[in-house]
């Protein structure tokens, strides 16, 4: 039996999910990320219905203005969680304004200005301070777990995906591989950030299953520990 992250560190169980082109991108350099099929979108919404929270980085909020709501599946609506050290989330973002009965947690650092925090709180968001200069992801996960959020769907983008993976905070990875090549050396990939120096230092995954959703091939992995 593989021990879950939950069991090891008292952190929520985390599933990273992304829609990716064959050349490993999750968005173009301009930030366009409409990659996967409608069949896959419905799978993602069923996945959303199985978790307590959906987590994204602030650049995804700024680029896409997603509402991160549950639309193509039934179930309990997960809370929205944003890693946003400097409270840059616009107070009128859809993630706060759409479905206001569902909580939106903005995880900031001690660096975030009180004016920005106040305007986000007035807009309806709840602020969690996790870390000094940048959001400390391990602390963020402990706080979320203490709020009984036991299972989280990490929905990008590339920079946050890498930070979560490299901090050992991800348990599963599912990737919808879309039959597209979009190129672009500045396009966003599944995991950006610093990366490792050597291939052998990479984060190892083990393939659990593959399924076809329309033209997309979805690969389901467990993160090896």
Ligand X SMILES: NC(=O)c1ccc[n+]([C@@H]2O[C@H](COP(=O)([O-])OP(=O)(O)OC[C@H]3O[C@@H](n4cnc5c(N)ncnc54)[C@H](OP(=O)(O)O)[C@@H]3O)[C@@H](O)[C@H]2O)c1
Binding positions for ligand X, rule: CB under 6 A:
18-19, 26-27, 31, 33, 35, 56-60, 63-64, 83-86, 88, 134-135, 137, 155-160, 163, 188, 192
Q: How far apart are CA 121 and CA 95, in angstroms?
A: 13
* Minimal distance, residue 97 CB to ligand X, in Å: 19
* Minimal distance, residue 177 CB to ligand X, in Å: 11
In this complex, which beta carbon is closest to ligand X, that of residue 58 or of residue 218?
58
In this complex, which beta carbon is closest to ligand X, that of residue 2 or of residue 61?
61
In this complex, which beta carbon is closest to ligand X, that of residue 1 or of residue 114?
114
* Minimal distance, residue 131 CB to ligand X, in Å: 8
In this complex, which beta carbon is closest to ligand X, that of residue 12 or of residue 158?
158
* Minimal distance, residue 111 CB to ligand X, in Å: 9
Q: Measuring CA to CA, how many Å separate 137 from each of 89, 90, 104?
A: 18, 21, 17
With a CB cutoff of 8 Å and minimum separation 6, the contacts of 220 are: 172, 173, 174, 207, 208, 209, 210, 211
Q: Measuring CA to CA, how many Å separate 191 from each of 20, 49, 148, 164?
A: 11, 24, 28, 10
Q: In which element (H, E) is residue 69 found?
A: none
Q: From the centroid of its chain, how far is CA 103?
A: 16
């Amino acid at each position: 039996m593989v021990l879950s992250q939950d069991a090891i560190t008292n952190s929520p169980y985390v599933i990273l999910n992304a829609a990716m082109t064959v050349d490993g991108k999750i968005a173009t350099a301009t930030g366009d990320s409409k990659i996967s099929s409608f069949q896959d979108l419905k799978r993602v919404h069923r996945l959303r219905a199985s978790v307590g929270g959906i987590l994204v980085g602030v650049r995804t909020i700024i680029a896409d203005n997603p509402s991160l709501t549950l639309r193509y599946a039934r179930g309990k609506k997960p809370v929205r969680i944003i890693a946003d050290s400097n409270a840059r989330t616009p107070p009128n973002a859809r993630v706060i304004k759409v479905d206001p009965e569902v909580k939106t947690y903005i995880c900031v650092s001690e660096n975030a200005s009180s004016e920005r925090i106040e305007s986000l709180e007035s807009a309806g968001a709840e602020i969690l301070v996790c870390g000094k200069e940048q959001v400390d992801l391990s602390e963020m996960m402990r706080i979320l777990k203490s709020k009984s959020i036991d299972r989280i769907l990490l929905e990008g983008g590339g920079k946050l995906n890498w930070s979560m993976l490299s901090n050992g905070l991800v348990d599963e990875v599912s990737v919808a591989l879309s039959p597209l090549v979009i190129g672009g050396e500045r396009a966003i990939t599944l995991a950006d950030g610093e990366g490792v120096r050597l291939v052998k230092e990479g984060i190892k995954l083990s393939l659990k299953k593959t399924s076809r959703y329309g033209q997309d091939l979805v690969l389901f992995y467990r993160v090896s520990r």
